[in-house]
Structure 1
Amino acid sequence: MKELTLHELIIKNGRIVDGTGRDIFFTDIAVNNGRISHIGKSEIEAVLEIDAQGMVVAPGFIDIHSHGDVSAPYYRYMQSSLMQGVTTLVGGQCGYMPAPCDRYWTSQFIEMECLQKFADELGVIPELGLPESMAPLIKERFGVDFDWRDFAGYVRKLRVQGIGVNIMAFAGHGAIRSQVLDYDYKRPAIDTEISAMNEYLEEAMAAGACGMSVGFDYAPGMYADRHEILKLLATVKRYGGIFATHWRRTGERTANASRRSRIDGIVEALELAAEAEVQLQISHLMTGYEIYPSDNDVLSVCSADETLAMIDAYRKRGLTVYHDVIPNITGGILLAPDLGMPFLKQMLECGSRGAFAEKLHDVSYLEALKKNVTTGSIYDVNPLIDPEWDARCTILSCKFDDYYKRSLRDISAELDMDSVSG
């Protein structure tokens, strides 16, 4: 009699989509020690058996641009990724990273609720916080000890507590720059400061960072000059790392900031990578040319072709460059549960959503808020940078049925109001 092999896990009767392009096929998969040990129908048994009848069995997806590294210490099972089939994410993007944080904790979206205490005491939410001040707030909100201060400590934290998906992470230039320049960041760094940044970067690369990411559209990264980035990329090169960039699409968002051509931001990233001789990952690539109206398909295709042609020109020169895209025309900002989300910071400073709504009846407060929007001070809603933001902002849920699936621009015009006031 043939001896049966006992496996840890067997997934039976699944529709296999293996990612190679071959046709779907039906078979069983055995797993041992976290790895596939057998594929095919045979006389195999397992300690745990999953019947995948009617379901697809496929390799996990890799989320190549994620900020899940920020929430991983607090939501270690990472269900929001797993339920989408994501088993590996690439974090530390756009210059953001939960480490280093030995001098300052840099504000991250996931911990916004923790900052209510600061808003209650100070009336505003600080850009930077002291780790010793944040630790008890994070413990109270998430039940997690905020006990890491560098990249290695962050990695150790995740390994000890366990996480639901694999994480590959960049060192965040913005997080590093904040430790060195603190609130004096609206300027290029001097050489001694760049050397201090390089010490943080060296620690991160030695601890397993896959490279360095820069957020050229965000503070403090938008103030970094070419000299600073090239000095840091020299360290990235020594480790064989990757340069990932949220390229400079807009730069500083203020009323007096000069507008720049978007293609210049792409060229800047390409030139930096070429001079530093490092691999480049252009984050959320979009057309390098502004189109009005933006819904013209012919112009959109032409501008996309010209943008890709620029990248291809650098490839022909020997630069290794890749890019990822956001699969919609709004980006991530306007995909929000409600129109109040761009003003989350203001809502927390007021104490609650209701208090914020009440505050809007204060004419002076309302006018000040409108000025912040129209002059570019609020990142998520910026008519200076994106004049058609309100045309792309579509209402998908509202107590007024007449507004359903209509743009904010359309609704505001009907009410004889500008979109900011609307």
Structure 2
Amino acid sequence: MNLTLRFLTVLMLSMLASSFSTAQDYDLVITNGRVMDPETQFDAVANVGIKGNKIIIITDKAIKGHEEIDAKGLVVAPGFIDTHFHWTRPIGYKLALRDGVTTAMDLEAGVYGPRVSDWYQMHDNNSQVNYGTGSGHEFARTKVMQNLPDEDLLDASWSVVKGRSSGTAWFEKVANLDEGNRMLTIIDEGLRQGALGVASTVGYMPGATAREMYEIQRVGANYGRPTAVHLRYTPGTVTTEANGAQEILTNAIALNSPAIINHYNNPGWELVQELLVKLRAQGHNVWGEIYPYAAGQTTINAAFIKPETWVEKLGNKYENTMQDPLTGDFYTMETYQEVLAKAPATQVVLYKMDPKAIPDWCRLPGVTFASDAMMLPGGWDEEPVWETPYEDIPNTHPRLAGTHGTCLRIAREEGIPLMQILAASSYNQAKYLGKTGLEAMKVRGRMQQGMIADITILDPKTVKDNATYTKGTLPTTGIPFVIVNGTIVVKDSKVLKGVNPGQPIRFPIEDKGRFEPLSIENWKNDYLVGDEFLQGGLDHGHVH
């Protein structure tokens, strides 16, 4: 075949392929929508063709599908990725879907390391969104310090709320070398089973020393996975908050490992943001998250809201900062002490920031939005409650139902570019996690051909949050369609019951763990300098 004939043949085949790609029927077609992709900055009216779970084509040509969504006047965006979502159960996911979330992961608390595989199995073919979890520092500490039986921690319904009711040693006690090694072994087992990283709530555990936190991050570094941290001293002052971030970021640099600074929308956020931006510019895979609210939510036995810290050091009053989400009443010193004694894991809303800062948080380059959605105790993790009307769900912090709707509304009101909000809702998370080697995130968070069809379709003119501190379970409106792995899960603003296309977001299971127990001797062998030891090592039989 001569060159001219070969060229014509190739040209004809190319034209046929192009014609086929625009004429074939797709499983699902989204027409006339404004397609926005934060990675490439693509922003144009186009049609999207989906086969199976993948985006096959994005084109200005007419295409047809077995099912069609007319998205005229709507934005077609990558599905939102929430990396800090505690209510990893059906009704929690239902509220997340109304807020545009297609992937929900708990990277702050996580689960007890040895039950990571059980947690994923619990979700198999039973989840409306993609799901993932971390290997929990707090769970490991609770197990070791409270000497809890394995059968409790292996129960699929075990939660941080239950753990925090088990005593005080989990947060007060300083670990000795044996206890430290047992904790690290438990966390390592979770990573071996495919957990996305180490999940640490060190801010709740004053007994956890700087050495313990360093070794916790080292376990994650052995796998190249991030440690996500509720910082020490959070919430605190502009100095202590920043010091908490500096601890984690310094460890990450020394260990050459990824790190996530959880909800740094607290005093000192400006410095934390600058540290993150400058470190990323130097090639470090470190990032942080915010939620767009002036108040947080926690359990009443949190160390940082004890009177000696919250009242005496930080100058707050329970009467105007600590609220019962169920009744709306604010605490007094007397009611705080009474509830703390009777029900130490009771959840409270804690007011801690000036709301005027919220638009600035939404503008932060490289930030991620994450809800920190808290679970409800008392049977609300069970599937039968899925059909409960939104307004009848017991009250909780509005960030559960409204985080992304709030950011989208603020963007419209404050003139923040929509592409910035979409990046912070989807692409940034996928980019950072993809850099850790997590394959599932390399193909999400993007509106591009060949990517997984996790898609959120929203009305930029009307999308808004409806959840309030008075009623925190009212869903976001203005997000009429949500697609997970190519399957419509929210249609005309209704979550479709029994549609469970969610897939695991997980690292492969490994044959054996990577943690080697610590000892005074191996530390000396590694860090002996002349006749002196580097300060801060494993001494006196404790993990410092």
Please give the range of the TM-score, normalised by the shorter of the 2 chains: 0.5 to 0.7
Q: Work out whether 1:324 is the aligned partner of 2:324.
A: no
Bigger relative contact order (CA 8 A; separation at least 6): 2
Distance in 1 between residues matched to 2:80 and 2:354, nearest whole Å: 33
Q: 1:218-297 alignment to 2 at 5 Å?
A: 218=204, 221-250=205-234, 261-286=240-265, 289=268
1:330 partner amino acid: A
1:158 corresponds in structure 2 to: 123
Residue 180 to residue 35, structure 1, CA distance change in 2 (3 Å):
same
What's 1:90 paired with?
A: 105
Alignment partner for residue 187 of structure 1, among 166, 173, 194?
A: 173
Quick one: distance in 2 between partners of 1:215 and 1:280? 13
Per-residue Cα deviation, 1:354-393 (whole angstroms, up to 9, x for no partner): xx99xx9xxxx9773155699xx9884679xx6999xx9x
Q: Distance in 2 between matches of 1:397 and 1:288?
A: 25
Shift of 1:82: 1.9
Q: Supply the distance in 2 between the matched residues of 1:150 and 1:320 (Cα, whole angstroms).
A: 28
Residues 228 and 261 in structure 2, CA contact (< 8 A), matched pair in contact too: yes
CA contact (8 A) 2:323 2:350 kept: no
Unaligned runs of 5+ in 2: 1-15, 147-166, 300-319, 359-467, 472-544
Identity of aligned residues (%): 22
In structure 2, the residue matched to 1:138 is: none
Q: How many residues align?
A: 297
Equivalent pair of 1:194/1:232 in contact (CA under 8 Å): no
User: Residue by residue, what CA displacement relative to the aligned partner does 1:290-329 show, whole Å, maximum 9, x if unpaired?
Assistant: xxxxxxxxxxxxx82x444455676687644222223343
Cα 1:388/1:53, change in 2 over 3 Å: closer
TM-superposition CA deviations, 1:93-118 (whole Å, max 9, x none): 1xx23435xxxxxxxxxxxxxxxxxx
Counterpart of 2:139 (choices 155, 175, 183) is 175
Moved more, 259-268 or 190-199: 259-268
Q: Find the aligned partners of 1:287 and 1:63 in 2 and give their Cα distance.
A: 19
Separation of aligned partners in 1, 2:212 and 2:181: 9
Question: 1:215·1:222 contact (CA, 8 Å) conserved in 2?
Answer: no
- For the Cα contact (< 8 Å) 2:297–2:349, is it kept in 1? no
* Alignment partner, residue 99 of structure 1: 112
State the Cα deviation string for residues 157-190 of structure 1 (Å, max 9, x = none).
112x331222232212112211221233221112
Distance in 1, matches of 2:263 and 2:43, equals: 31
Which residue of structure 2 lines up, in the alignment, with residue 199 of structure 1? Answer: 185
Q: Secondary structure at the match of 1:175?
A: helix
8 Å CA contact 2:297–2:350 kept in 1: the answer is no
Counterpart amino acid of 1:175?
A: F
Matched AA of 1:5: Q
Q: What's the counterpart of residue 409 of structure 1?
A: none
In structure 2, C-alpha distance between the alignment counterparts of 1:315 and 1:40, rounded to whole Å: 34
Alpha carbons 2:49, 2:57 under 8 Å: kept? yes
Offset of residue 267 of structure 1: 2.0
Q: How much has 1:245 moved relative to structure 2? A: 0.9
TM-score by length of 1: 0.58
CA distance in 2, matches of 1:41, 1:317: 39
- When residues 74 and 16 of structure 1 are mapped into structure 2, their CA distance, relative to the original with a 3 A threshold, is closer
- Compute the RMSD of aligned alpha carbons: 4.4
Higher mean C-alpha deviation, range 199-208 or range 238-247: 199-208
Cα drift, residue 88 of structure 1: 2.0
TM-score by length of 2: 0.46
Contact residue 171 and residue 210 of structure 1 kept, 8 A = yes
- SS of residue paired to 1:97: strand
- Where 2:37 maps in the other structure, the secondary structure is coil
Please tell me the residue identity of whatever aligns with 2:178: T
Instruction: Give runs of aligned pairs for residues 8-87 of structure 1, distance below 5 A.
Output: 8-20=27-39, 22=41, 24-42=43-61, 44-67=63-86, 71-75=87-91, 78-87=93-102
Q: Deviations over 1:266-288 (max 9, x none)?
A: 22222332333321211112465
SS in 1 for 2:214: helix
Assess if the C-alpha contact under 8 Å between 1:288 and 1:307 holds in 2: no
Contact conserved, 1:13 with 1:52, CA < 8 A, in 2?
yes
Residue 150 of structure 1 deviates from its aligned partner by 0.3
Residues 1:187 and 1:328: Cα distance change in structure 2 (over 3 Å): same
d(CA) in 1 for partners of 2:240, 2:253: 20
1:15-38, CA deviations, whole angstroms, 9 ceiling, x for partnerless residues?
Answer: 222234646422221111200112
Counterpart mapping for 1:305-384 below 5 A: 306-311=271-276, 319-331=284-296, 342-343=323-324, 368-369=334-335, 380=348
Deviations 1:40-83 (A, max 9, x none): 2446432222222332212112224332xxx333438x222222
Query: 1:205, 1:211 within 8 Å by CA — same for their partners in 2?
Result: yes
| Contact persistence 2:83–2:107 (CA under 8 A) | no
Q: Which amino acid aligns with 2:94?
A: Q
Counterpart-to-counterpart distance in 1, 2:281 and 2:39: 28
Secondary structure of 2:254's aligned partner: helix
Deviation at 1:7, TM superposition (A): 1.9
- In the alignment, which residue of structure 2 is the partner of 1:104? none
Structure 1 spans left out of the alignment, 5+ residues: 101-148, 290-302, 348-352, 399-422
The Cα shift of 1:340 comes to 12
**SS at the partner of 1:150?**
helix
Deviations 1:246-283 (A, max 9, x none): 111248x9xxxx99833322222223323333212111
Name 1:137's counterpart in structure 2.
none
1:7 counterpart residue number: 26
CA contact (8 A) 1:152 1:203 kept: no
Q: How does 1:106-121 map to 2 (within 5 A)?
A: none
Query: SS in structure 2 opposite 1:188?
Result: coil
Query: Structure 1 residues 259 and 41, CA, compared in 2 at 3 Å: closer, same or farther?
Result: closer
- Residues 22 and 321 (structure 1 numbering): CA distance in 2 closer, same or farther, change over 3 Å? closer
Q: Is the 8 A contact 2:145 2:173 kept in 1?
A: no
